[in-house]
Amino acid sequence: MKAFRDRHAPTRRMTLLAGLAAPALLGGEAAAQAFPTRSLRMIVPFVPGGGADTTARFVAEPLGVELGQSVVIENRGGAGGTIGAAAVAQAPADGYTLLYGTPGPLITNPFLMANMPYDAQRDFAPVSLLTRGAYLLAVHKDVPVRTMSDLLALARARPGELTYASAGIGAGSHLSGELLSMETGIRMTHVPYRGTAQAVADVAAGRVSISIDTYGVMIPMIQAGNLRPIAVTSLQRFPELPDVPTIAETIPGFEVGVVNYVCVRSGTPIPIIRRLNEAFVKVLGSPVLAARMREAGSSPPLSSTPEELGDILRAESAKWGAVIRRANIQPG
């Protein structure tokens, strides 16, 4: 006797699955409407005082107001941002732990470190872009250069003698120096630190020759006369520094952008990611926040959808992966 086949079984199975999925989706939507019910923490994977830390604190206050809960900044520096990012990857996937990302943690470190404590593509979910800026190249006041042409001439005359500080191996400031060396054929000596603040401070003190880092951190040293701006890494001049040329004006096509963004752990319910994104879009669109960041020398706030941020991260990863391979920087 042939076994009886219920020709309606596939349809019933699909109906059952749909019935099971609907409450889950509704549950997620309900959770998002209630979210958050307690304070959030935004992990900045660098020591206090750097550009990322400054921008995070500007954003955290209005974000807390928008969400109805405080947003606490937690600095976890080290390993080019990897230590802080690992803390987010290991946190519950509930939206309460945010990663303030810079190029290091998810874009460049996977090419620079042999034993990453997380998978940059698998373990994080994009939320929103925060800023998309560039770096300022400045020198200590006693370095006898005033233009990029002067700097290149000095570097060629004294190969390896000029030093440049960075926030750590693989940080954007490090790779900017590598890219500059590759594009021009000069040779400089890299001096890594554990964060932007100390790196820039040592250039201002004359212990290192060059800084390629965020303008906002350099403002007090520039105003005090200890740092001299030479050029910016964007294709357009900074509105705050209209008399400072771009590196591209001397080296056509040279550009280094600085992407700052927010991610959460993958697996965070999509409705909660949407709730966070909506809050960031509103906060980052505030003229008050834009004015505060402009006064501090920070890049202007700029939001995105989670999907747009995912595309940006993939494009930046491809670009800097190529630079790292070309510079023959080996995973450490």
- Asked if the model's pLDDT at residue 7 lies above 90, the reply is no
Task: Give the Cβ contact number of residue 2 at 10 Å.
Answer: 4
Token readout for 279 is 């809050």
What's the pLDDT at 2? Answer: 38
pTM assigned to the model: 0.76
Token readout for 228 is 């001299």
pLDDT band at 297 (very low <50, low <70, confident <90, very high): confident
Task: Give the Cβ contact number of residue 321 at 10 Å.
Answer: 15
What's the pLDDT at 150? Answer: 98
What's the pLDDT at 16? Answer: 39
What's the pLDDT at 216? Answer: 85
- Asked if the model's pLDDT at residue 234 lies above 90, the reply is yes
Q: Of the ranges 6-20, 31-45, 168-182, which one carries the lowest mean pLDDT score?
A: 6-20
Q: Which residues contact 229 (CB under 8 A, 6 or more apart)?
A: 136, 137, 138, 218, 222, 241, 244
What's the pLDDT at 329? Answer: 78
Phi, psi of 99, rounded to the nearest 5 degrees:
-100, 120
| Averaged pLDDT score across all residues of the chain | 89
Structural domains in the chain, sorted by start: 37-132+259-326 (3.40.190.150), 136-249 (3.40.190.10)
The whole-number average pLDDT for the span 20-34 is 58
- Asked if the model's pLDDT at residue 59 lies above 70, the reply is yes
pLDDT band at 332 (very low <50, low <70, confident <90, very high): low
What's the pLDDT at 125? Answer: 98
DSSP code of residue 154: H
